Structure 1
Amino acid sequence: MGMADPAWGENGIVPFLRAGPPPDRTRVEGWRQWQERRSTFIPAPRLTVEEYAAMSPRRRALHDLHRTATHVNMGLLETPMSAKVTKLMRGRMRNNALNFEPGTRDGLMVSGGGYLGKTETACDAAATFEMLWRDLHRQLLPGPVPGTRDLFVPVAYCRTPVRATPKGLCAAVLDFYGAPLPKTLNGMIRAVRDSLRDHRTTALLLDDITRLRLHREDDQDTLDLVRELMDLNVTLVLIGVDIPRSGLLRSGYPDPRTGQWVFSPVKAGKSYNPSAATQTERRFDLVDLDPFDYDTAEGMTAFIQHLAGIEDRLRLFRARPGMLTEGGMPEYLFRRTRGIVGLLKRLIEDGCTEAIESGAEELTPGLLSAIPINLGNLTDRDPTAGEVPEVPTDVPVPARKPRRKGRNTVYDDRSGSVAGG
């Protein structure tokens, strides 16, 4: 009998299959569900070909399904770029949460191209901070009263509407808490303030912020509202595609002493808040989440280490150490994806599916060359805001060189002199 899969429950139940749609992080219940389950996936066990062949047809089909689930749920692999974002976010959220002085809290802007993992990196950092903050809250304050709703929501996550207006942004924040929507703008603004205060929210993540188009009056008023939210003792984290070129920083300038972006006071006019001109300057730290760089030794090393991390999580029977990291494979993968982690993930996922279905059970440039990177019909992304990257095409497949064991050349003279000369 073949090896039992530890991920299978009694009576053949398959717990790695998800029931229902994925959690909606733009609602407080979905955010908590995602936060609690984001690291609980159990990958498929590593089986030998003999153990796999000894399984019943049903067990083999379930194991193949589990392998596919493993490949599409590899999780967030840290990169040097994401580590920089995570460090800055956690430090800023922690410091602001421990600051009990009145006044504006410095915010953060997480910028980068589409499919670079900005949202996942920011959400993971915020979720880790929330776990710490909830643990401290449980130790210092009494728990929720039975029969009532727990009002403690340290982190809120919202997405900027494609057609941004102050009312639309307020509705996105209020929808996260499940709060009722007042009919007037002033009422909605008061409701947002009350929700942030009553739920003791310390960090507010606004995703897709570069959907704002500052040539539209509604978008200008929405940006004014975003800045005013910084006065509510929350760490405002704005996430968007190529923020420096989006126009959002047009009214700001980088402070050479601190490196922070400083915004002039909002001018009185058609903004919803006519007294905004009396407010203090708003400050944001701008951090970029860049793609991998293959032009330097450090960049190549980081990319190959990332590929090694992916390689370790694959469950292909003919996979071998160096399958993704040796020969011409690293450069080929970089050319296919331009070092964009989201495109790399999609290519590896689809390649593994083809490797399992075809029986190849390994990834090669030849197999991957037949796999298009198809991003599908992305109804939740705005291509005009740069949220969908350009996918490279017509990348040549590197020639496959025969393997042979060469001699050790470590001690060869590389000075260019001729022996005996």
Structure 2
Amino acid sequence: MTSGAAPSCPSTRAACQGTALPGTLDLHSPVIYVQAPVTATPKSTCTTILNFFKAPSRSLTLPQLVRQVAESIEDHGVKALIIDDISRMRMHRADDQDVLDLIRAFMGLNVTLILIGVNIPGTGLLREAQWHAKQRAWVMPPLETARIHGLEVTQTKRRFELVELDRFRTTTPAEIHAFVSHLQGIEDHLRLLNARPGILTGGNMPEYLMRRTNEVVGQLGRLVEDGCLEAMASGKELLDEDLLDEIIIGREDLAHPPDASSQAAQPKPANTSKRRPRSRNTVFDDHGPQNDQAAG
């Protein structure tokens, strides 16, 4: 989910010239990446951004923190601010509503905002919650327009462009090139001792990885990461199909389904059916005087 576009950087600013200042971590940072706090508040969000620059944030009020963020973004020549795990926010919380207002205020800093999350429409970030006086809570009542046409257009939705990432596809040359380029990017960062050029992009490895991960980028990352850990633990220091065959990333993503012999060797699941409750012993029950007269 992105918004805005940063203008060209003035050549007169020291940040864009790449000069260094004593005591600074990195003066020129065109792109910064932070994660949304687990329990986000405007103060914790500002502190998270300032921590990227190692900027002081203690004992500062919220207006001072916001000003410090604005100055840090300008001084470091930031062009894109990436906030990951934005789906942690829930619009029924007042603090999260305030954080969303703060993020909208960041749009005036001449920086492109990129918010990353899972199921962003389902979190309510593109809608506006309302305060329910009786329930004393933020609620998002269902609307008829939302039921028919989807989520209603709000101020937030007008400002952001929702970009959905789908699975990799291999139906066109451009899609195949995109997948191989992604593998090349991963390959360039591998630090295995026996790694060689084309370890992920050569031979049949792209087709193998596509088949194993079901074209899902998250599954691909997990397979490669777990494979590297196994390669280092075993001393092989190399990724190949034999090693990756031993990595299970999910039963639905198994490269080869188990045969009948392996299925027979697996223990049968325990019987989880509910047992019938045991009946109560009624031998010593008192049936009353009526039953005694009838018996006599």
TM-score (structure 2 length as normaliser) = 0.56
Shift of 1:339: 1.6
Which secondary structure does the structure 1 equivalent of 2:163 belong to?
A: strand
The aligned counterpart of 1:288 is 164
Distance between the aligned counterparts of 2:60 and 2:187, measured in 1?
A: 53
Report the residue type matching 2:41 in the other structure. Answer: T
Cα 1:163–1:307 change in 2 (3 A) is closer
1:163 to 33, 39, 48: 39
Matched, 1:98 2:8: yes
1:137 to 9, 12, 16: 16
Structure 2 unaligned spans of 5+ = 130-151, 259-296
Contact 1:154 1:201 in 2 (8 A): yes
Contact 1:355 1:363 in 2 (8 A): no
Contact 1:338 1:392 in 2 (8 A): no
Per-residue CA distance 1:79-122 (angstroms, 9 max, x = gap): xxxxxx9xx99xx75xx22289xxxxxxxxxxxxxxxxxxxxxx
Distance between the aligned counterparts of 2:64 and 2:237, measured in 1?
A: 61
Which secondary structure does the structure 2 equivalent of 1:370 belong to?
A: coil
Contact 1:307 1:324 in 2 (8 A): no
Per-residue CA distance 1:205-235 (angstroms, 9 max, x = gap): 2222111111111111111111011122222
Report the residue type matching 1:237 in the other structure. Answer: I
The aligned counterpart of 1:369 is 245
The aligned counterpart of 1:212 is 89
The aligned counterpart of 2:155 is 264
Which secondary structure does the structure 2 equivalent of 1:290 belong to?
A: coil
Contact 1:167 1:188 in 2 (8 A): yes
The aligned counterpart of 1:245 is 122
Report the residue type matching 1:213 in the other structure. Answer: R
Cα 1:137–1:303 change in 2 (3 A) is closer
Cα 1:395–1:306 change in 2 (3 A) is farther
The aligned counterpart of 1:395 is 254
Name the structure, 1 or 2, with higher relative contact order (CA <8 Å, separation 6+): 1
Contact 1:308 1:322 in 2 (8 A): no
Cα 1:197–1:213 change in 2 (3 A) is same
Contact 1:154 1:202 in 2 (8 A): yes
1:189 to 66, 87, 101: 66
Per-residue CA distance 1:23-56 (angstroms, 9 max, x = gap): xxxxxxxxxxxxxxxxxxxxxxxxxxxxxxxxxx
Report the residue type matching 2:7 in the other structure. Answer: A
Distance between the aligned counterparts of 2:95 and 2:219, measured in 1?
A: 34
Which secondary structure does the structure 1 equivalent of 2:69 belong to?
A: helix
The aligned counterpart of 2:220 is 344
Which secondary structure does the structure 2 equivalent of 1:228 belong to?
A: helix
Matched, 1:176 2:52: yes
Contact 1:134 1:154 in 2 (8 A): no
Shift of 1:165: 1.1
Distance between the aligned counterparts of 2:230 and 2:17, measured in 1?
A: 48
Aligned residues: 226
Shift of 1:282: 5.9
Aligned sequence identity (%) = 40
Per-residue CA distance 1:3-26 (angstroms, 9 max, x = gap): xxxxxxxxxxxxxxxxxxxxxxxx
> RMSD value over aligned CA atoms?
4.7
Which secondary structure does the structure 2 equivalent of 1:157 belong to?
A: strand
Distance between the aligned counterparts of 1:167 and 1:292, measured in 2?
A: 38
The aligned counterpart of 1:64 is none
Cα 1:300–1:194 change in 2 (3 A) is closer
Report the residue type matching 1:224 in the other structure. Answer: D
Cα 1:175–1:350 change in 2 (3 A) is closer
TM-score (structure 1 length as normaliser) = 0.42
Cα 1:358–1:166 change in 2 (3 A) is closer
Shift of 1:164: 0.9
Matches within 5 A, 1:21-420: 93=5, 96-98=6-8, 137-138=16-17, 143-144=19-20, 149=24, 153-177=29-53, 178-251=55-128, 263-264=154-155, 283-293=159-169, 296=171, 301-302=176-177, 305=180, 309=184, 315=195, 322-325=203-206, 330=207, 333-348=209-224, 350-351=226-227, 357=234, 363-364=240-241, 367-373=243-249, 391-393=250-252, 395-397=254-256
Per-residue CA distance 1:337-367 (angstroms, 9 max, x = gap): 2222343244245446657848797733x65
Per-residue CA distance 1:293-321 (angstroms, 9 max, x = gap): 36x456874577469857898837xx895
Contact 1:355 1:361 in 2 (8 A): yes
Contact 1:207 1:238 in 2 (8 A): yes
Work out which of the two has the higher radius of gyration on C-alpha atoms and give 1 or 2: 2
Contact 1:193 1:232 in 2 (8 A): yes
Contact 2:127 2:153 in 1 (8 A): no
Which secondary structure does the structure 2 equivalent of 1:206 belong to?
A: strand
Which secondary structure does the structure 1 equivalent of 2:161 belong to?
A: strand
